[in-house]
Structure 1
Amino acid sequence: MNLRLKSKLTKYLEENQISSVLNDSKWERLFELLREIEGALDFQRKDLDEPEPDESYWDGDLYHVMGEWQRIEWLNIRALVSESKGALLQPVVTDRTDLLIQALEKAGTPFERLKDGVRIWGYLRPGVSPQWANT
């Protein structure tokens, strides 16, 4: 991140009283470990300067969500992946939650449990209090 963008981000964080949860090292370590299991996960990303994403939009490609992590407000990771087995057959749902939790714990990344995965917080806005699963 260049100095101009970093300065702009710092100003935005200060003006909105937003506190950081993860630093660059934590994000790097997390993404390194997620690369090992990425084909088994879906991702949903919310950046600081963007509106809430559509709840139905998930991306199975880690490379689409891992850039510019300094802007990530939160990252949802879904560990229940549905695989189509054809038009007439019910999809098979694979639960990779244990694999995901192991990677998060190995990376030392705090997370919040969701119904079908986890949420990694990059930043917290005033009034946001996650229910940490591993602190």
Structure 2
Amino acid sequence: MGYHPLMNDTKWDEIRTAMIEFPEQVLWRTKDIETGYISHWDGDWYYHFRTGGYNPIEWLEIKFENAKIKEELVNILRKIHVPGELSENRIRIYGYVKPGIFIDYI
């Protein structure tokens, strides 16, 4: 596969649980490391996010609508301590990275 794993099922479950408990609905999508498929945006963290298991998740993107929600999400993800990066309206969390690529933790 040529990738280094950065996440495990426990960390993915912590994210899933935190997003279920989050008071605002936030959308997510994932990229499958085996097929390259990028899922459609989804809001169901309870069932859909864990369908098929966490192993093939190369990355997870969480979309937010405003700076307040972004700040709240970043605070949650810092507590979980996940590898990722922030953009203007999305947070990307990495499950795997290619060798030689450095990803900081949120």
Q: Residues 19, 94 of structure 1: CA spacing in aligned structure 2 closer, same or farther, 3 A cutoff? A: closer
CA 59–70 in structure 1, closer or farther in 2 if over 3 Å, else same: same
TM-score (normalizing by structure 2) = 0.80
User: Equivalent of 2:59, from 74, 77, 95?
Assistant: 74
The structure 1 segments of at least 4 consecutive aligned residues displaced by more than 3 Å after TM superposition are 126-130
Report how many residues are paired.
104
User: Do the aligned partners of 2:82 and 2:105 also contact (CA within 8 Å) in 1?
Assistant: no
Unaligned segments of structure 2, at least 5 residues: none
**Identity fraction in percent:** 28
> Is residue 117 from structure 1 mapped to residue 90 from structure 2 by the alignment?
yes
1:56-114: per-residue Cα shift (whole Å, max 9, x none)? Answer: x311222322331111110000012xxxxxxxxxxxx7851112112111212222112
Q: 1:98 aligns with which of 71, 75, 81?
A: 71
On the 8 A contact 2:28/2:42 being kept in 1, the answer is yes
The answer on whether the counterparts of 1:38 and 1:60 sit within 8 Å (CA) in structure 2 is: no
Distance 1:38 1:45 in 2: 22
- Alignment partner of 2:4 out of 19, 22, 41: 19
Residue number in structure 2 paired with 1:108: 81
Aligned residues: CA RMSD: 2.3
Give the Cα–Cα distance (whole angstroms) in 1 for the partners of residues 23 and 30 of structure 2.
15
Give the TM-score taking structure 1 as reference length: 0.65
Q: Which residue of 2 aligns with 1:84?
A: none
Give unmatched runs, 5+ long, in structure 1: 1-15, 81-92
Larger radius of gyration: 1
How far apart are the structure 2 equivalents of 1:127 and 1:109? 18
Q: Secondary structure at the match of 1:46?
A: strand
Higher relative contact order (CA 8 A, sep 6+): 2
The structure with more helix, counted as a fraction of residues: 1
Distance, in Å, in 2 between the alignment partners of 1:23 and 1:38 is 25
